[in-house]
Amino acid sequence: MKVLHRKVLTAAELRLRDDGILEHRFHDESVLTLAGSEELIEYSLSIVDGSMPVLAVGTRIRHVERDARIYLTRGLPSRRLTRRLAMIAGTPVSRIVGNIFLGLNKPPFPTQLFTDEERAAAWLLDP
């Protein structure tokens, strides 16, 4: 897998991969705010054409604010960007955050929580 485009933003590092996956790697111990979420989605939309599979890697994310959760799952820009969403959780805290995210927000696109990036990528690319 080759990275075609990379950009470090407030909340995460964004990577556009040659396999067609858009990767959001959230910074360690980060708190995801609405402003950080908006910056991430708006920048993502500026470099892609249409919806894509998104791999969200938040293995050491600390907290996602309520407004950010709503924006990332129900906001029109997020719905325009995301065809499928695979979330990576690597620690007990990130698994809790991921399960809360999925349980409270019910994204309108297919979404799954994984602990393994290869399995997540395979699921994202499966027709």
3-state secondary structure of 63: strand
CATH of the domain at 59: 3.30.750.24
Total number of domains in the chain = 1
Handedness of CA 34, 39, 46, 16 (dihedral sign): negative
Does residue 98 carry a pLDDT above 80? no
Q: Which residue has the tokens 């959230």?
A: 26
Helix count and strand count (H, E) for the chain: 5, 8
Please, which pLDDT band fits residue 106 given cuts at 50, 70 and 90?
confident
Strands (E), the chain: 3-8, 12-17, 22-26, 31-32, 52-57, 63-64, 82-88, 111-114
Instruction: Residue 81: count other Cβ atoms within 10 Å of its Cβ.
Output: 22
Arithmetic mean of pLDDT, 58-72:
86
Show the domain range for 45.
3-125
pLDDT reading at 74 higher than 90: no
